[in-house]
Amino acid sequence: MTTIESPTAAGSGTAATDKFKRERVSADTSPERLAAIAKDALGALHKVILDHGVTYPEYRVFKQWLIDVGEGGEWPLFLDVFIEHAVEEVLARSRKGTKGSIEGPYYVPNAPKLPSVCTLPMREEDKKATPLVFTGQVTDLDGNGIGGAIIELWHADEEGYYSQFAPHLPKWNLRGTIVTDDEGRYEITTIQPAPYQIPTDGPTGQFIEAQNGHPWRPAHLHLIVSAPGKESVTTQLYFKGGDWVANDVASAVKPELILDPQPGDDGKNHVTYNFALDPA
């Protein structure tokens, strides 16, 4: 019998922080722009303190909590739950193609390459979940198929765990880099993921619990779709009628991104979703 070690906030937080630290991040922000953003950000915080009459004990608890988030390696988790959706909204202003959504902390590049008709790597246990056959086409904004487009797909398993952030899962479980056919088409077999619960045993969980909030994201597929000469889109797809679709803790659901899979005669759920890419 295998022992399943439950992923902890500390475990997934540390893994997400380590991954983020390996990425070399930079932004082309002038000192003037930074000063303007910093002034407004601090001003917004000062206004909240004054409006709510925040006390010294509350200020000290806040300081301690900020320290805990850092020490627990939970900044990627906290920021992607509560902040990233606003940054994605800014990006969405300049786009006409498929709607984007947040990336979240669990993307890992270079997942195994798979052909346009494929099955994501999965464990025997995962095969007990409802299979999902996901078909469609990657096109430009005029509907022309883009041969050889790339779909990076990753998602949680039927228990809500992501490979590489939960110690009991194989490295590339439910992750793949799919290359579309000459017309941009694909047929990917995977499983229906479960809703995802933000780890509740660390400071992000405390933050949610202390205000009687819930830690759930609706079940979702993560995708990054790209092609030469096109702007890549990072997005997520959700499932109609699923728990938390109307109440996502990460505020990342958009109506255009909700799938409605239908059961087929083969015992699998089937759905079609096409991606239209903006020019680069």
- Minimum distance between the CB of residue 104 and ligand BEZ, rounded to whole angstroms? 3
Answer for the pair 16, 165: CB distance below 8 angstroms, yes or no.
yes
> Which residue in the set 72, 73, 105, 121 belongs to the binding site for ligand BEZ (CB under 6 A)?
105
- For residue 209, CA distances in Å to 56, 80, 212 come to 22, 18, 5
Closest to ligand BEZ by CB, 120 or 146: 120
Cβ 121 to Fe ion shortest distance, Å: 17
CB 146 within 8 A of CB 230: yes
DSSP H helical segments within 145-277, as ranges? 203-209
Q: Give the residue among 233, 221, 229 at the shortest CA–CA distance from 275.
A: 233
For residue 125, the minimal CB distance to ligand BEZ (Å) is 20
Q: Does the protein bind ligand BEZ through residue 250 (CB under 6 A)? A: yes
Residue closest to ligand BEZ (Cβ): 104
Total residues at interface with ligand BEZ (CB under 6 A): 11
Nearer to ligand BEZ, 65 or 107 (CB): 107
What does DSSP assign to residue 126? G
Closest CB to ligand BEZ among 122 and 250? Answer: 250
Binding site for Fe ion (CB under 5 A): 104
CA distance 154 to 67: 31
How many other β-carbons are positioned within 10 Å of the β-carbon of residue 276? 21
Residues that bind ligand BEZ (CB under 6 A): 77, 80-81, 102, 104-106, 196, 198, 217, 250
